[in-house]
Structure 1
Amino acid sequence: MKRFLFSLLSLLAIASALLLTLNILAANRHLRMASDNSKRLLERTAAYIAEQKEWSDNEESFDAIITLTGVERITICDSAGIVLVSSSPLLAAGDEVDGFVVDAMLFRQALASGHCLTTELVKLDGFIFRSTYYPVRKEDRLFLIIVEADRTYFKAVAQIRRSMLLTTASLALVFIILSGLLFMIIRRYRTAEEQLLRQERLSFLGRAASELAHELKNPLAIIKSSADVLQKQLDPDRRNRAFTFLSDETMRMARLIDNILSFAREGTVNPTWFPLLPFLKSLQSEASVQWPRSDIQVTPNVAVTCRIFADPDALRRILLNLIRNSIEAQQGTGEAVLGAEFQGKKASLLVSDKGPGIPENVRKRVFEPFVTHKKGGTGLGLAIAAGLCSKLSFELKCNRPIRGAEFEILIPENLWRPS
């Protein structure tokens, strides 16, 4: 699937690039064709006028030529630049033509060389012009025929070019949008794939852990009961230290097995609506009893009437687990802060401390089972908490505070109410 999406994105990129290139080439081709056609039109029109016998009173003939060819203006002047005749109402016989010439330098070159010269496309006042300067001798005098192209013609060509460029830009925009959508799909697919792999790995570990725990539980119970029997039979002076150590270690192993079974057990949650603030106050009291040497603070930024949709027992277990981690990271003392942010669209519960924090190499895998940086830790507490959060449709995150550690439970907008 991932390979297919990448192939689709590559094909889309190639197709879009090809279409963009073709549009740009087509736009430039139209402009070149317009340029070549206009040059031929101007030169042929000037050559036709040069063959006429009379010029001095030829305005009507010029109007007919303009109508037929589509050129804009025809002017004939002598070598001094004095107008002999012109189709333009702005130029009369005897006027100087210099102020109306598109390219004065090319105008003078045509007079000096005696060769027909045509300007490039020139943009003036937002319009595109092109002129041909056609020198001709009559009665031993040098005259210059000036023919200018129709600006509406070039305006139409420019409009075609703009349309093509707009099409090109639209294609580019479509490509960007589709690429963004495909990128989002690929990213979501990769996230879902990673979650699926994690769930499969956790499921396998859960089954293996469950079998291991059951195999260990019976021998451990036998060891403990045997130790209790022996403790009653031996001399009190000899038994206290050894059997106290044995009893403590077997109890620790029993707790470890309980954690493994808790992790392996699928279980269900029973969410319901309940007020959040009393729940947090009750949790603070319970945590203070469990860890009397620590300072458990609650800093809720939440309305008194705020309600949350969750399983109270599961949420209590999650938060106590996070608080336990904070206290144990500070050697059983220190401060743990339980915060709540339920304002606007943001809703989260936070547990933070000022302890040593979590190493970066552990942070990336902190919610995986059997991953821990604490001496004697099982690495199951956070995995259990993350699993319960997932069942409640919450998300458990490990943030990067400046100091200490901070865990945040993100709660979707539809699972809480301000009142």
Structure 2
Amino acid sequence: MDLVPLVAVAVLLSLPMRGRCCGGGDGEELHPIVLVPGYGSSRLDARLTEAYEPAAPRCGARVGKGWFELWPNHATTQDPNLAPCFAEEMTLVYDAVADDYRNAAGVVTTVPSFASTLSLIGWEPLVRQLEAEGYRDEDSIFAAPYDFRYAVAPRGHPSAEGARYFGDLARLIERASRLNGGRPAVVVAHSYGCALTYQFLLSRPLAWRRRFVQHTVFLAPALGGFAEGMNGLSTGADYGLLNVPRPQRTKLARSMQSSLWRLPTPMVFGDRPVVVTKNSTYSAKNIVRFLEAIGFPEGVRPYVTRVLPMWQALPPPMVPVTSLYGVGLRTPETFVYGEDGFEGIPEVVYGDGDGDINMVSLAAIETEWSGVEDQILKVVRLPSVNHTGFFTDHSALKKVVAEICEAAATIELPQENKILSFAERRYSAM
């Protein structure tokens, strides 16, 4: 734990609060909250046009029949035979000529109920707690769902879906501020949503960030990717649908732009062994060789040109950040494949983390931002809280609400203390 000079802590604790923190007042002085969900926590609707060419006749039953719920896909739980149809409709296409990702031909998708918390999956316990503190849906608390199959791209590379989402997110934050007396918003993100939020902040001018973002709260920030990101490209993603054949699961996982974003980054993971076979060891530093070894050479170009440049460094966003994450849980760290190579099931070697995200990734921003002038960073580690425990564990949920309330409090420096820099008020907590 990084310690701060006691005089700086004393100054911070003595700062008078103006405005309403959670749990008091009439709600007129709330800083608005914008929620950015994690991977798979946004609803997706779809419709099929005549251009859709299903692999099996039953998969074309919805052609021309309007919108239906694609994710979460309850139809597949009622009829497991539809699981391959779901995988087919969820699969993206990387257009090498256009250098961008798109839906399969004939599949049109949309993210319903943008701005409303009703669009989120699994966030109900946290939303209810915040509503109990005075927040109201689409009035002082908002949601920014997205199509989690996509991501964004670095400058010079097109990203139609990612650019649209970043534009929508910026307008939502501005709207949230406007509806709440011009107060900047508290942005609360989880997991993959932290990676998107982080890149979003870097994409906005510093003046905009400081005008419209009061604080950012990261829940389980995986800003360095995670080991399972490599294994998932090898074994495929089943989304809980066990009757989808492995080749189709693999095709689905490799089609998604976001799958490449989940790979461990060289900057954070270094040369740690992540995947081991009889003849080779693969780390974050030789992912190109890994992609070729698993039979995914078409993933090399988008990885090298569209993903790697965005994660070669972790510059601070220069807005206050609170990072909360679980520790002390067995987390997959190395995948060891036997005689069957990548066709087999790997043995898993575990390390520390939150059960999904490795500790080195969860703690990456502490390593990079500690000591950076003008970057406020608070870190809260929650023992034995798993990756989604912020929404299911009562004590973790209570802590998250408390941190959001603290972030939403307006701190006004007395005149004699205005010369203090943000760095002098930075603190870290266990």
Q: TM-score, normalised by structure 1?
A: 0.21
Higher relative contact order (Cα pairs below 8 Å, separated by 6+ residues): 2
Structure number with the higher helix fraction is 1
Q: TM-score, normalised by structure 2?
A: 0.21
